[in-house]
Amino acid sequence: MTAPAILWFRQDLRLADNPALVAAAKGPVLPVFVLDDAAAGRLAFGGAARWWLHHSLAALGRDLAARGAPLLLLRGDGVSLLADLAERTGAASIEAGWLVEPWPRAQESSLSARLLAGGRRLNLHASTHLLRPDAILSGAGRPYTVYAPFARKVLAGGEPPAPIEPPAPLRGLAPPAPGLPLAALDLLPRPPQSDWAAEFGTAWRPGEAGALERLARFTAGGLPNYPTRRNDPSVEGSSGLSPHLRWGEVSPRQVWHAAREAGGEEAVPFLREILWREFSHHLLWHRPEITQTALRAPFARFPFAPDRNLLAAWHRGRTGYPIVDAGMRQLWRIGWMHNRVRMVASSLLVKHLLQPWQDGFDWFMDTLVDADPANNGASWQWIAGSGTDSSPYFRVFNPIAQGEKFDPEGAYVRRWVPELAPMPSRFVHRPWEAPEEIRRAAGLTEAAYPRPVVGHAEGRARALAALRATARGE
């Protein structure tokens, strides 16, 4: 008889295309999830991510119970809890997906050492990525620092392996002691913020079924128009798969093959975004400081001018720039922001407002349902000009022009900033320029909606001066 195994769910909360599950299910299996905030430290899951995790674990728990192997929930020191569980159940191995963040990697090596000492093994599988970040290197044998050659190399390597089916019914292994009820993980927002996530559920359906539904909707409808509609924040022009990918409710291999099947060559612009995710994770693996420290040394001395009032205006969507405020409010209400708007909002914070990108990174980690240290860190560094593959440092997004280009009628702004709904389209992205009678007719007082906290020309000039001085230090 095959020895029992523990199936350690981490960021692969699904049954399909899960090689750890297939390996564990050869014999009796005990699925487990451990919440270990202490190990994660500064990168512990933020509020919106925890909301997602709660609902995703509920869905996974139901799916596993229906297959005969209920999910055990634990909280605390992951390494000790798992090593102890392996010993008490007599499991020969723990099967899990490998991850790229520094703290889960540290967990992997400690747990592996503990298990080996008792004659057991930790077997790690590729369940969250297309490629191992250390398996793809440049011609010179070094990690990639620039996206384009990285993507070329991956695309030239051919298609990723096809997804694998989940095993039929599982043989559940009884835990030595009952686990925690889901509520004891304490993942949902608490008073006084209990209502914060009230609207999340209208936008999202966490869990594997929700992920597959979203993928099917996108491949059936959104994919052909993706190149033209992905930049329009007022429509569902992109896949909306980011939180599902973040939690591994669907694998990148499943997404890749579904897109290829539906779109063939037409799928490539979308697949290139999946490769941005792989690239960001490659960067985090090789440069773990990406979530905290400028990758280009001179940018560590960029003259940011921390100001709590400016940061608060940005958090609350009251910067006076409609496209940015719409994005920040969308983020607060549904835990997600459109990619184009993320770029404009993050650029405004770092450049016009001269606030440290790390503050923006932290806010996104707390409020995004797709909060991902690799994608978030790489994107903030790209915007700030401090990454290895960055937007040219002198690029300062113009928040007015970006709004007018990508939301010409102001549909997105009107939805998320209702104070501006009555404004005529020609002023919806520059309400401070509207004649007084138009502002009055729209009920737009200074108290209802602020003027820009920093004028565009002034903010841009200040940012460019700081950026030039910093770049000269290279």
- The token pair that represents 292 in the structure block: 């905290």
Beta bridge partners of 256: none
Q: Which ranges in 1-101 belong to alpha helices (H)?
A: 19-24, 37-40, 47-66, 78-89
Q: Is 240 assigned a ligand-binding role in the annotation?
A: yes
Binds ligand FAD by CB under 6 A, chosen from 367, 375, 381, 470: 375
Binds ligand FAD by CB under 6 A, chosen from 110, 251, 379, 390: 379
Q: Is 17 in the site for ligand FAD (CB under 6 A)?
A: no
Q: Is 279 assigned a ligand-binding role in the annotation?
A: no
Question: Exposure pattern of 57-94 as b/e (b: 16+ CB <10 Å)?
Answer: bebbbebbeebebbbbbbbebbbebbbebbeebebbbb
Residue with Cβ nearer ligand FAD (123 or 128): 128
Binds ligand FAD by CB under 6 A, chosen from 136, 231, 269, 276: 276
- The residue behind tokens 């095993």 is 167
Residue 292 CA to residue 357 CA, distance in Å, equals 9
Residue 146 CA to residue 142 CA, distance in Å, equals 12
Name the minimum Å distance from CB 246 to ligand FAD: 6
DSSP 158-170: -PPPPP-PPPSS-
Binding residues for ligand FAD, total number by CB under 6 A: 27
CA 359 to chain centre: 16
Residue with Cβ nearer ligand FAD (257 or 277): 277
Containing 6, the helix (H) or strand (E) segment is strand 5-9
Q: Is 186 assigned a ligand-binding role in the annotation?
A: no
Binding segment (CB under 6 A) for ligand FAD, from list 67-75, 180-188, 240-248, 414-422? 240-248
Binds ligand FAD by CB under 6 A, chosen from 241, 295, 350, 467: 241
Q: Is 364 in the site for ligand FAD (CB under 6 A)?
A: yes
Q: Is 226 assigned a ligand-binding role in the annotation?
A: yes
CA dihedral 336, 342, 346, 351 (to 10 degrees): -160
Residue 454 CA to residue 397 CA, distance in Å, equals 14
Binds ligand FAD by CB under 6 A, chosen from 89, 219, 242, 291: 242
Name the minimum Å distance from CB 244 to ligand FAD: 8
Q: Is 33 assigned a ligand-binding role in the annotation?
A: no
Q: Is 284 assigned a ligand-binding role in the annotation?
A: no
Q: Is 48 in the site for ligand FAD (CB under 6 A)?
A: no
Q: Is 10 in the site for ligand FAD (CB under 6 A)?
A: no
Residue with Cβ nearer ligand FAD (302 or 427): 302
Q: Is 270 assigned a ligand-binding role in the annotation?
A: yes
Segment 324 to 353, residues that bind ligand FAD, using CB under 6 A = 339, 342-343, 346
Name the minimum Å distance from CB 265 to ligand FAD: 17
Name the minimum Å distance from CB 123 to ligand FAD: 26
Segment 196 to 235, residues that bind ligand FAD, using CB under 6 A = 230
Segment 52 to 81, residues that bind ligand FAD, using CB under 6 A = none
Residue 92 CA to residue 46 CA, distance in Å, equals 34
Binds ligand FAD by CB under 6 A, chosen from 89, 128, 239, 254: 239
Residue with Cβ nearer ligand FAD (122 or 341): 341
Please state the φ and ψ torsions of residue 139, each to the nearest 5 degrees.
-55, -30
How far is CA 253 from each of CA 64, 125, 150, 248, rounded to the nearest angstrom? 22, 14, 18, 11
Binds ligand FAD by CB under 6 A, chosen from 54, 120, 246, 260: 246
The side-by-side arrangement of strands in the sheet containing 29-35 is 72-75, 29-35, 5-9, 93-97, 121-125
DSSP state of 127: -
Residue 15 CA to residue 297 CA, distance in Å, equals 43
Q: Is 291 in the site for ligand FAD (CB under 6 A)?
A: no
Name the minimum Å distance from CB 15 to ligand FAD: 20
User: How much is the CA Rg of the chain, to the nearest whole Å?
Assistant: 23
Q: Is 273 in the site for ligand FAD (CB under 6 A)?
A: yes
Report yes or no: 330 and 336 within 8 Å, Cβ to Cβ: yes
Binds ligand FAD by CB under 6 A, chosen from 325, 370, 407, 419: 370
| SS3 assignment, position 259 | helix
Instruction: List residues binding ligand FAD (CB under 6 A).
Output: 230, 238-242, 245-246, 273-274, 276-277, 280, 339, 342-343, 346, 364, 368, 370-372, 375-376, 379-380, 383
The binding site consists of 226, 238-242, 270, 370-372
The binding site for FAD consists of 226, 238-242, 270, 370-372
